[in-house]
């Protein structure tokens, strides 16, 4: 029985190695196949640091991708799943991309790959979710004035300023929207990122949210403007609230447009253009309108709360998004020769 099983397995392996061949139910072991001789590759995997030989794969198909090799390596070393592995042809070269095909690489029929471990990995979706859930929960803790945040006499009290409640609605809505978008809208094409990134990213978002929430929901919070012009405040803050939601809808429209641009599973890049949705018409003027709208909502939030920490984070976000937008804009220009010349990165005609 065992011998039969092994034979069956062998047969399966050779079948798998030759996708062009029609599956025959019982291939004879020594079938002459001169018509299509495949030159198999011999692949050796070496540890980048210790130079120790980790694995020798003989008979690797020439059409195997780097990802296939990673999968084979994973079979022998279960703790290193493919996303954790980095493979390169030379210790000093860049990591090979998963899509690269063995026979197009600059190697002979025997290839050595240098392996290094990238450490535990998380998917982008997980990181996005962790980034968003923290601020949502933290902000609400300050809003409801849970004990040990402000002085005990204020526990579970609520602000008498309308704008504090509006700000809480905006903040919560923003993060709920981001969570739902991560779950249902984004087609994330990046693989994974190292576990330690989550501490960096979340650290920033969570601290920022807590710092702003502390000031906005503080029992002694007042703003110069709302203090003086009692009459207009309701109208004014409602107007800002409206502008903010306008930006949120715009931002969402852009995310939907980007999603539709990308077919599921495909890596083909295309130029985003305005669609029937008027919120996307800003694509005529900027490359990254999602960041333009985000800047708009940050400015709205600053004007609404008139709070120094919020203004500070608006500035930080603006600088960060400008860096990303300029990078994206440059790569669009490089990738597409017919890229619309009217577009700037993030601010129409300015930046």
Ligand X SMILES: *[C@@H]1O[C@H](CO)[C@@H](O)[C@H](O)[C@H]1NC(C)=O
Ligand Y SMILES: NC(=O)c1ccc[n+]([C@@H]2O[C@H](COP(=O)([O-])OP(=O)(O)OC[C@H]3O[C@@H](n4cnc5c(N)ncnc54)[C@H](OP(=O)(O)O)[C@@H]3O)[C@@H](O)[C@H]2O)c1
Judge contact between 46 and 110, C-beta under 8 A: no
Residue 221 tokens, joined:
């919070």
Return the DSSP state at 170.
H
292 lines the binding site for ligand X (CB under 6 A)? no
Q: Report the nearest approach of ligand X to the CB of residue 241 (Å).
A: 13
Q: Which residues between 60 and 99 bind ligand X (CB under 6 A)?
A: none
Three-class DSSP category at 115: strand
Using CB atoms, what's the residue nearest to ligand Y?
189
- List, in sequence order, every beta strand (DSSP E) within the chain: 41-47, 53-60, 85-88, 110-117, 121-123, 192-194
Q: Which is nearer to ligand X, 177 or 218 (CB)?
A: 177
The mark string for 177-216 relative to ligand X (x by CB under 6 A, - otherwise) is: xx-------x------------------------------
Q: Closest distance between ligand Y and the C-beta of residue 200, in Å? A: 8
String marking each residue 158-197 x if it binds ligand Y according to CB under 6 A: ----------------------------xxxxx-------
Q: How many CB atoms lie within 10 A of CB 27?
A: 16
Would you say 153 and 145 are in contact if contact means Cβ atoms under 8 Å apart?
Answer: no
Q: Which of 248, 280, 302, 345 binds ligand X (CB under 6 A)?
A: 248
**Cβ distance 84 to 120 under 8 Å?**
yes
Q: Work out whether 174 is an interface residue with ligand X (CB under 6 A).
A: yes
| Residue 308 CB, nearest approach to ligand X (Å) | 20
In this structure, what DSSP letter does residue 65 have?
B
* Position 278 contacts ligand Y (CB under 6 A): no
Structure token digits, residue 57 = 């794969």
d(CA 120, CA 122): 7
Which positions touch ligand X (CB under 6 A)?
Answer: 174, 177-178, 186, 247-248, 251, 255, 258, 288, 290, 293-294, 297, 328
* Site for ligand Y, rule CB under 6 A: 186-190, 201, 258, 261-262, 269, 272, 324, 327
């Amino acid at each position: 029985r065992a011998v039969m099983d092994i034979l069956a397995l062998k047969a399966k392996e050779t079948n798998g190695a030759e996708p062009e061949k029609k599956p025959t139910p019982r291939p004879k072991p020594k079938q002459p196949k001169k018509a299509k001789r495949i030159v198999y590759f011999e692949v050796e995997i070496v540890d980048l640091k210790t130079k120790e030989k980790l694995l020798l794969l003989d008979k690797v198909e020439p059409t195997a991708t780097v990802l296939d090799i990673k999968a084979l390596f994973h079979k022998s070393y279960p703790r290193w799943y493919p996303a954790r592995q980095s493979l390169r042809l030379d210790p000093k070269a860049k990591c090979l991309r998963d899509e690269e095909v063995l026979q197009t690489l600059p190697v002979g029929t025997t290839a050595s790959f240098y392996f290094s471990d990238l450490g535990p990995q998380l998917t982008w979706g997980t990181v996005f979710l962790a980034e968003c859930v923290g601020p949502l929960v933290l902000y609400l803790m300050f809003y409801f004035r849970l004990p040990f945040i402000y002085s005990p006499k204020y526990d579970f009290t609520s602000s008498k300023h309308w704008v504090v409640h509006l700000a809480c609605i905006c903040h919560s809505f923003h993060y709920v929207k981001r969570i739902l978008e991560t779950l249902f809208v984004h087609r994330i094409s990046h693989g994974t990122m190292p576990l330690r990134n989550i501490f960096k990213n979340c650290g920033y978002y969570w601290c920022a949210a807590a710092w702003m929430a502390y000031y906005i929901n503080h029992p002694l919070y007042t703003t110069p403007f709302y203090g003086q012009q009692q009459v207009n405040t309701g109208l004014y803050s409602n107007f800002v609230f409206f502008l903010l939601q306008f930006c949120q809808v715009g931002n969402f429209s852009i995310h939907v447009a980007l999603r539709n641009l990308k077919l599921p599973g495909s890596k083909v890049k295309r130029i985003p253009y305005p669609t029937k949705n008027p919120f996307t018409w800003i694509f005529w003027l900027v490359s990254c309108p999602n960041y333009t709208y985000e800047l708009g909502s940050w400015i709205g939030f600053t004007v609404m709360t008139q709070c120094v920490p919020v203004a500070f984070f608006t500035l930080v976000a603006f600088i960060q998004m400008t860096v990303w937008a300029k990078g994206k804009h440059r790569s669009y220009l490089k990738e597409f020769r017919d890229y619309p010349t009217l577009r700037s990165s993030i601010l129409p005609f300015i930046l």
